[in-house]
Amino acid sequence: MQTPISPSDNLKVYVISDSAGETGESVVRAAAAQFHPVHLEIKRFPFIDSIDMIDQVLKLAIRHEAVIAFTLVVPELRRYILDQALKLQLVCIDVLGPVVDRFEKKLGLTSKHLPGMVHRLDEHYFKKVEAVEFAVKYDDCRDPRGILKADVVLVGVSRTSKTPLSMYLAYKSFKVANVPLVPEIKPPNELFEADPKKIVGLKISTRKLNAIRKERLKSLGLNEDADYANTNRIQDELAYAVDLMDRLGCKVIDVSDKAVEETASVILEWFSHQNR
């Protein structure tokens, strides 16, 4: 039987899926976030479609004392993995099963039991892929022409989560371009030609940005007293950014104490309200 781990140990989770495993991993990460600072170590085992493949993963889970989370829709495979986990005394979580079962009872219908239905190659899927490619292409204002093509334009000083936020919104099918604001560099003309309603300014407190930049310098093996993390320099950058956002007349969000998901939620709600 698996024993409890200490918060200083890694929580190992093996995600078994008959598709890519994205759904299972997302649920596991969301749940594990409630137990910070436990360090999460996830390994995906995608496109599992046989008992033999399941057995191989279960052997690894026993050896490494990993938790099993699975998204299998074929009833025989679901039953097998639950039975085996019980016999082997493994912690095993059926991510989709209970939801599918309850939907069947509520709708009076039987599930199709077809793997990969969430990620089928439909119009929405291709739109998401296109948005991700767009976010990569126009990240950090590599090509200012993307500003006029984007659904959302993010502006802010360095380390205000512009890139991760761009990618998160891309997974929601929004084409996002982002523009770093630096006092010594003139913003591209396209920024002033774009519709202010699609521009979102990201502001942050001096204290928070100072801490983030010091950690960034430390991770790069650089001196945390560098000008990049200097309080006076940061204040100058933020003052410049706020002034520019005022000139643009754009929506401004304070990201000082917000996770990327929270900021994205505010942006999505804002655009939803704009389009009503």
CA Rg value for the chain: 23
161 labelled as ligand-binding?
yes
Backbone angles phi, psi at 271, to 5 degrees: -70, -35
71 labelled as ligand-binding?
no
Containing 72, the helix (H) or strand (E) segment is: none
What integer pLDDT is reported at residue 96 of this predicted model? 86
206 labelled as ligand-binding?
no
Q: What is the pLDDT of residues 79-102, one digit of tens each?
A: 999 999 999 999 999 998 888 888
182 labelled as ligand-binding?
no
Residue 31 CB contacts under 8 Å (≥ 6 apart), including other chains: none
Report the CATH fold assignment for 123-274: Rossmann fold (3.40.50)
pTM for this predicted structure:
0.61
Residue 182 tokens read as 């630096």
205 to each of 102, 238, 242, how far by Cα in Å?
46, 8, 11
112 labelled as ligand-binding?
no
Domain boundaries for CATH 3.40.50.2300 within the chain: 10-107
Q: What is the pLDDT of residues 173-182, one digit of tens each?
A: 999 999 999 9
Helix (H, G, I), strand (E, B) or coil at 201: strand
Residue 238 CB contacts under 8 Å (≥ 6 apart), including other chains: 157, 203, 204, 206, 209
What integer pLDDT is reported at residue 83 of this predicted model? 95
The answer to whether residues 58 and 68 touch, using CB atoms and an 8 Å cutoff, is yes
207 labelled as ligand-binding?
no
162 labelled as ligand-binding?
yes
Distance of CA 91 to the CA centre of its chain: 26
**What DSSP character marks residue 160?**
S
With respect to CATH, is domain 10-107 assigned 3.40.50.1700? no
